[in-house]
Structure formats: structure tokens, C-alpha cells
């Protein structure tokens, strides 16, 4: 298998709203470059990148899929990423290892919420970018309007490189402003392309747009600017160097007109990517931490350097094991090479190395700096881990995934499946780190959290398909807290038991007082004169902690209470630690109910991003969820609403928000604090708890 050096590699990822055509463009590129002998279709479920059964069934991308073609002796690595926000983690990890982000936009619909949310990552990571306006063959195509939206909402540096000659259902030609030629494409699948001069009726438009393009390039470099003013244009090496530098410096975002379904304009994009997208060694080298230190070092893209790679994706394959997909940032990899996992301080030996096109793996002898590859059966290496040479121990910065916006509790349908469920969910998390799993002892439930309802549903489906275990996904219990607002001056309890032989005796007087929110529990030993011997005091405290963990009103943890043990009595024979534990817990229970007990609920800060036209609906919905709106801000055509909402009102909120905003609303959430539950709601919660206790 042919091996490529950094200067002959280009790495980019297709990002954008769901259904914009990223997978279809990838298919046409694979076909055009001769990797496949037919163009696969998402509708027919036979594309190279959407090979997972769930992707085929649902006709959407769920997992990022690394692909590659050779074009003009250059290897183009490209990643087809999902467009649904449930799978945003796949986009984030892919953008970490590419040199250009290519946003795909639908010509009729324009800039959609998924376009903007993924573009936010482009800005955050300061990535060079390009934009494809796809589906120009749609009868409602609005290429010029969409381009204006792109300039307005994504980047003012967006500049047309190819524009449609005849957009709409007859679209088959583009004008390429770099080559100043018109390209007419035959039927999809024919690979027929005719090149001719720009027709007279389009010359003026083409010359004007080319001038805008050259000006944009010249702006990015003083030397080129001078040359442009002197000669009136830029040609040859000046243009090549200028375009590359302008893309690297993020001063130029090329825009292409394409129809993936008709395979129109894809060749021009391939030519441009090969000629002008930066090679991995042409961009600023990333830095990493030296293992065990705070010092940072540059990781130069040099095949002669010490090997450093970052695993950005893991796949668990039946009969194969875990496949770790990585980018080589430095050095050269070969099978049998020993590297150190610097995140876990473990040695890993590389087995067979592969390059991927979807599920198709091709074995390769060496992978050089700048390239993307895969290896199977690493012992304990996962997404986000760095492997490096033992002579150069470094840790690449972690991949930062977003906080979860939806939670569900996993309930096993059969007893004894708990281990299988835990193992299966662990593997699901390895494949998509935005899906997290944890057992919450406070509510005694296994909680899966993620970015959307579909993501959680697919995790449950995978448990059934792969591990043959069935679970229900239900609303998680709310981790309420209990506390007091009043003071109980004297909560007394005497535990006395006599049943022949040695009895039990413990007697305490407690004072209960509220503490400021967040203070937890304070125990004060105010015993004078040994009325309760010192050896029993720890048992009193232990009894208090145990009852506080179990709760009084709803079985929820008691917090922010100060308890003072100020009196009691003991029996020289019958008193023991167990007796004082029981006495303390019963006295506490009695005193707690007398000290104006209240239920507290977790409140979350939420930030909602919606188009302006949905703002009223969203704010009304927040109010109906007992939410408090804290403020609003605007970000382009979007409104940012900040609010506080009880966790009890946030179950499946992300799904509901998408529903009331036609899929255009997004939100993030973070725990804020605990607050009193309104009395009428508190009464219902206590009633339901007592009812469930009786039933059980």
C-alpha cells in the first residue's frame, strides 16, 4: 500500500447540519477518484461511510467515518461527520485532527442551526475553513442568497471560488474562478467533464468575482498586496502561495457550488483541496505537555521526530476488538513499535496498522507524521489518549466534550444482567465519550447522560443488539435533599430493650438547628460530667450520619443541619454502641419533624440558543417549567436566553426544545444550587414516596 509523507497529505472534515449532504459528497469523491466503482446512496443504505446498521436503518450518520482518496499524487484524508447534535462529540474529536473544516450548507435552506453550532467549533479551534453550498440542483436553490447568509452568519471572509452557471433542476455547469474556465459535467456516474472558456454572458460576473477573490488573497500578505497594486493581478506561484497562506491564516474561506446527487462541481473542489489546502506540516505545530510536568513543547510534524499520536476515535468491532483511530503528529509508526500511553503510564505495542475507508481496512507497513490510521487490540488506550516514544514522553491536550443535556435511568429487564449492562455501556462510552454512564448511589440508579434522546435510545439498542441484554430507559429519580428551617431545642429518645440476659440501653437529648446552605453537617459534643460516656459519642455521631443519609421525608439525604448532643443517660451493663446509635437516629427523626422540615431540589442553570422568532414560545415554556429567566443576549440572528430551572422539569427538555423551535433550538445546562420545593409540590412528592414505600 502506498505510503505518504506530510507534504503529500491533506486532512479535512465535512461538518454541518443534518441532511446537508456530507455523506453524499464523500461518496462522489470516492467514486470520482476511482476508490469505488459506483456512487452509493444514503437512501439505499449502501454508502461507504454510513456502514453501521443503525445508520443504514435511519439514513443518517451517527459516527464519524475516516475516508481517503488519492488525487494528483496527493492523499486526501477526509472525515464524514454526523449532522445531528446528538452526535456532536464525533464532530469535536474529528476537528481535533484535521487542518481544514469544510462546512456543507444546503443551497435552498441556507444557514441552519447545525451549520452555526458546528461553525462555533471552527471559531473555537481557530481552524482554517472552506464552505460547500450543496444541492444547487434543488428547484428552490438560492445560491446567491445562501452565499450572502454564509458571509453574514459564518464568515465575512467567505469568497466564491466556483459558482453555478445554471442552478436548479438542470444544474450541470460551474465556473471556476481560479482556472477561469467553465466545467460542464455529464450524468452522475459518467465521470464526463468538459472544460471550455467562460461564456460571454458570464464573463463580466466571473471577472468581477475573480477580482474579489484576488483582492481577498492579496489582503492577507503585504508583499502580495504591493504586487497586486503594481501588476493589477496575481498569477502562478504568487497565487498558489497567497491562497495557501490566506487559508492557513484564516483570512480566506473558499466557497464552492456543488450538487452531490448530480456529481457536479466535485472535481473542482478536489483540485482546490489538493492544490491549496495546507499540508499538516504547513500549519503551526500544536503543543503538548511534557509528561509529569507543566512545561509545554512543540510537536513538529516531522517523520524523523520521535513518534507521537493521538487517538481521536474508538470503534468496538465484533470478532476484532477495539479499533483505535489516530492521527500521527510526529515521527513514523510501524507494527511492533512500543509506545507509552502517557495518560495511563502504560506501554502499548502497535500491532497491524491500517488506513480506513469506512469499514474497509487496508493494511499498511508505515504511517508517517501528518497521516491518519488505525490499530487494533491496544490493551488500555481509549479516545483522547496520547501514545508517544519513551524518549519523548508528552501528553496532548484532552479533547473537550460538551456537558450532557439529557439523562435517563437504565433499568434491567432481567436480574443478573448488571455486569453485562455495565460492560456494554462502558464500550458505548468508548465509542462516543459524550455518552457518560455512572451509578448514582444517592438515588440507587445507573444514569446514562448524553446530547439527545436519539443518542440514548441507540445506546440502549446497542446493548440489545451486541450484548443481548434488554433494559428500559426511564426518568431518573431526582436527588432531592431534606433540611430544616426551624430549631428543635430538645429531641429526646430512650432506647431500652430487655429480653433476658444483657439488654440494650441508650438515651440522648439532641438540639437540632439549621446551617447555611451548603454547610453540610456539624456535630457538637456538649456532654458535661460524663452523663454519656465518651466511648459512646462516636456511635451517636454514626447513628446521626446513617439516618441523615437515609432521609426522613422522602428517603433523600439530609443536609445543612447542626446537631448538638447535650444530655443523656446510660446503663453500666446494658449500654453499648448499637443502643446509642439507635437512640441518636430516633431522636434525630423526632427532632427533624418538629423543626419545620423542608424538601430541597436541584436547580440548573440553562442557556438556550434560539432564532428570534421562537423566543416568545421558549420563554413561555421556561416559565411553565417553574423556570426563572435571568437575562437575554443576542448573537447574530439568535437569541441567548439564560434561566434557572428545577432538574425535575428538565427531563427530555432537549427533545421538547427542538420540537417547539423546528429543530433550531439548542441548550446547555449546569448544576447551580439547591432550593426549597414549593409546598404544594413538596406534599405531592412526599405522598408519592409514602405510596411507593407501601407498595414495596
Q: For position 671, which CATH number holds?
A: 3.30.70.240
- Residues 413 and 544 reside in one and the same domain: no
CATH of the domain at 235: 3.40.50.300
Tell me whether residue 12 is in a domain.
yes
CA distance 171 to 353: 42
- Residues 261 and 310 reside in one and the same domain: no
Check if the beta carbon of residue 39 is closer than 8 Å to that of residue 188: yes
CA distance 615 to 557: 38
282: buried, middle or exposed (CB in 10 Å: 19+, 13-18, 0-12)? Answer: middle
pTM value is 0.88
In this predicted structure, what is the pLDDT of residue 426? 87
CA max distance for the chain: 114
- Residues 242 and 299 reside in one and the same domain: no
At residue 405, what are phi and psi to the nearest 5 degrees? -120, 0
Torsion of CA 611, 615, 618, 624, to 10 degrees: 180
In this predicted structure, what is the pLDDT of residue 696? 66
CA distance 18 to 61: 8
- Residues 63 and 19 reside in one and the same domain: yes
CATH of the domain at 487: 3.30.230.10
Contacts of 189 (CB under 8 A, 6+ apart): 31, 38, 39, 263
Read off the C-alpha cell for 346. 502504560
DSSP 8-class letter at 8: G
- Residues 464 and 425 reside in one and the same domain: yes
pLDDT tens across 97-109, in order?
999 999 999 999 9
Tell me whether residue 686 is in a domain.
no
Range of the domain at 580: 482-595
- Tell me the average pLDDT of the chain: 93
> Which of 282, 303, 325 is the endpoint of a domain?
282
Residue 451 CA: distances (Å) to CA of 87, 257, 408, 473, 657: 7, 32, 11, 15, 13
- Residues 627 and 542 reside in one and the same domain: no
- Residues 347 and 422 reside in one and the same domain: no
> Which of 566, 595, 624 is the endpoint of a domain?
595
pLDDT value at 318 more than 70:
no
pLDDT value at 637 more than 80:
no
231: buried, middle or exposed (CB in 10 Å: 19+, 13-18, 0-12)? Answer: exposed
pLDDT value at 320 more than 70:
no
CA distance 521 to 563: 8
- For the chain, the domain total comes to 5
- Residues 522 and 583 reside in one and the same domain: yes
Instruction: Using the Cα atoms of residue 443, residue 446, residue 452 and residue 457 in order, give the sign of their dihedral.
Output: negative
- Residues 540 and 658 reside in one and the same domain: no
pLDDT tens across 150-164, in order?
999 999 999 999 999
Tell me whether residue 695 is in a domain.
no
CA distance 59 to 81: 14
Q: Which of 342, 256, 183, 309 is nearest to 21 (CA)?
A: 256
In this predicted structure, what is the pLDDT of residue 284? 94
Tell me whether residue 585 is in a domain.
yes
Q: What is the DSSP string of 103-120?
A: EEEETTTBS-HHHHHHHH
> How confident is residue 233, by pLDDT bands cut at 50, 70 and 90?
confident
Pairing mode of beta strands 386-388, 338-341: antiparallel
At residue 414, what are phi and psi to the nearest 5 degrees? -130, 140
**Least confident stretch, 43-47, 247-251, 287-291, 306-310:** 43-47
Residue 357 CA: distances (Å) to CA of 65, 316, 370, 565: 8, 16, 17, 70
Tell me whether residue 70 is in a domain.
yes
The whole-number average pLDDT for the span 457-476 is: 91
The whole-number average pLDDT for the span 624-632 is: 96
Radius of gyration for the alpha carbons in the chain, expressed in angstroms and rounded? 32
- Residues 10 and 77 reside in one and the same domain: yes
- Residues 391 and 425 reside in one and the same domain: no
> Which of 558, 577, 595 is the endpoint of a domain?
595
- Residues 153 and 254 reside in one and the same domain: yes
* Percent share of the chain, pLDDT over 90: 79
Amino acid at each position: 500500500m502506498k505510503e505518504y509523507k506530510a507534504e503529500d497529505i491533506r486532512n479535512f472534515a465535512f461538518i454541518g447540519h443534518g441532511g446537508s449532504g456530507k455523506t453524499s459528497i464523500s461518496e462522489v469523491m470516492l467514486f470520482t477518484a476511482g476508490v469505488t466503482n459506483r456512487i452509493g446512496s444514503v437512501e439505499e443504505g449502501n454508502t461507504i461511510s454510513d456502514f453501521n446498521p443503525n445508520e443504514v436503518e435511519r439514513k443518517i450518520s451517527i459516527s464519524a467515518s475516516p475516508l481517503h482518496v488519492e488525487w494528483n499524487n496527493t492523499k486526501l484524508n477526509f472525515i464524514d461527520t454526523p449532522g445531528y447534535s446528538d452526535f456532536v462529540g464525533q464532530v469535536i474529536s474529528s476537528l481535533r485532527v484535521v487542518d481544514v473544516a469544510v462546512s456543507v450548507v444546503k443551497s435552498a435552506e441556507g444557514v441552519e442551526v447545525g451549520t452555526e453550532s458546528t461553525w462555533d467549533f471552527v471559531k473555537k479551534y481557530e481552524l482554517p475553513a472552506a464552505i460547500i453550498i450543496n444541492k444547487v440542483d434543488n428547484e428552490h436553490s438560492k445560491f446567491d442568497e445562501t452565499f450572502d447568509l454564509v458571509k453574514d452568519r459564518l464568515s465575512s471572509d467567505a469568497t466564491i471560488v466556483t459558482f453555478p452557471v445554471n442552478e436548479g433542476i438542470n444544474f450541470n455547469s460551474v465556473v471556476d474562478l481560479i482556472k477561469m474556465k467553465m466545467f460542464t459535467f455529464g450524468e452522475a456516474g459518467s465521470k464526463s467533464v468538459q472544460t471550455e472558456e467562460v461564456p460571454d454572458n458570464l464573463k463580466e460576473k466571473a471577472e468581477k468575482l475573480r477580482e474579489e477573490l484576488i483582492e481577498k488573497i492579496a489582503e492577507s500578505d503585504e508583499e502580495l498586496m504591493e504586487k497586486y497594486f503594481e501588476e493589477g493581478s496575481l498569477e502562478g506561484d504568487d497565487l498558489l502561495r497567497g491562497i495557501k497562506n490566506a487559508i492557513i491564516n484564516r483570512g480566506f474561506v473558499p466557497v464552492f457550488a456543488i450538487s452531490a446527487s448530480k456529481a457536479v462541481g466535485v472535481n473542482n473542489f478536489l483540485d482546490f483541496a489538493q492544490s491549496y489546502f495546507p499540508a499538516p506540516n504547513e500549519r503551526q505545530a500544536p503543543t503538548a505537555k511534557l509528561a509529569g510536568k507543566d512545561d509545554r513543547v512543540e510537536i513538529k510534524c516531522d517523520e524523523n521526530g520521535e513518534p507521537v499520536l493521538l487517538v481521536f476515535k474508538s470503534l468496538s468491532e465484533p470478532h476484532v476488538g477495539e479499533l483505535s483511530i489516530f492521527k500521527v503528529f510526529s515521527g513514523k509508526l510501524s507494527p511492533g513499535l512500543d509506545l507509552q500511553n502517557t495518560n495511563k503510564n502504560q506501554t502499548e505495542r502497535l500491532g497491524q496498522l491500517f488506513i480506513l475507508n469506512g469499514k474497509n481496512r487496508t493494511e499498511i507497513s508505515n504511517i508517517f507524521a501528518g497521516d491518519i490510521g488505525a490499530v487494533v487490540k491496544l490493551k488500555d488506550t481509549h479516545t483522547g489518549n496520547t501514545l508517544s516514544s519513551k524518549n519523548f514522553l508528552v501528553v496532548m491536550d484532552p479533547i473537550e466534550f460538551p456537558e450532557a443535556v439529557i439523562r435517563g435511568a437504565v433499568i434491567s429487564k432481567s436480574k443478573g444482567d448488571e455486569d453485562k449492562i455495565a460492560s456494554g455501556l462502558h464500550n458505548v462510552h468508548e465509542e462516543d465519550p459524550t455518552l457518560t454512564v455512572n451509578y448514582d448511589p444517592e438515588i440507587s440508579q445507573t444514569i446514562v447522560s448524553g446530547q439527545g434522546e436519539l443518542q440514548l435510545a441507540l445506546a440502549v439498542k446497542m446493548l440489545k443488539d451486541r450484548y443481548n441484554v434488554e433494559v428500559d430507559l426511564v426518568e431518573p429519580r431526582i436527588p432531592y435533599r431534606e433540611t430544616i428551617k426551624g430549631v428543635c431545642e430538645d429531641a429526646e429518645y430512650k432506647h431500652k430493650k430487655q429480653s433476658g440476659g444483657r439488654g440494650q440501653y441508650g438515651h440522648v437529648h439532641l438540639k437540632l438547628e439549621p446551617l447555611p446552605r451548603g454547610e453540610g453537617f456539624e456535630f457538637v459534643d456538649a456532654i458535661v460530667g460524663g452523663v454519656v460516656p465518651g466511648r459512646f459519642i462516636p456511635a451517636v455521631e454514626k447513628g446521626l450520619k446513617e439516618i441523615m443519609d437515609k432521609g426522613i421525608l422522602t428517603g433523600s439525604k439530609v443536609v445543612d443541619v447542626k446537631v448538638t448532643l447535650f444530655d443523656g443517660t446510660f446503663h453500666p451493663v446494658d449500654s453499648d454502641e448499637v443502643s446509642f446509635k439507635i437512640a441518636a437516629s430516633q431522636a434525630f427523626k423526632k427532632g427533624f419533624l418538629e423543626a419545620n422540615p423542608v424538601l430541597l431540589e436541584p436547580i440548573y442553570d440553562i442557556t438556550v440558543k434560539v432564532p428570534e422568532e421562537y423566543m416568545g414560545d421558549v420563554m413561555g415554556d421556561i416559565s411553565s417549567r417553574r423556570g426563572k429567566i435571568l437575562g437575554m443576549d443576542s448573537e447574530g440572528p439568535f437569541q441567548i436566553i439564560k434561566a434557572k430551572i428545577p432538574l425535575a422539569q428538565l427531563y427530555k427538555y432537549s427533545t421538547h426544545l427542538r420540537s417547539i423551535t423546528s429543530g433550531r433550538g439548542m441548550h446547555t445546562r449546569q448544576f447551580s444550587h439547591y432550593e426549597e420545593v414549593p409546598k404544594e409540590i413538596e406534599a405531592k412528592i412526599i405522598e408519592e414516596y409514602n405510596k411507593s414505600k407501601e407498595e414495596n
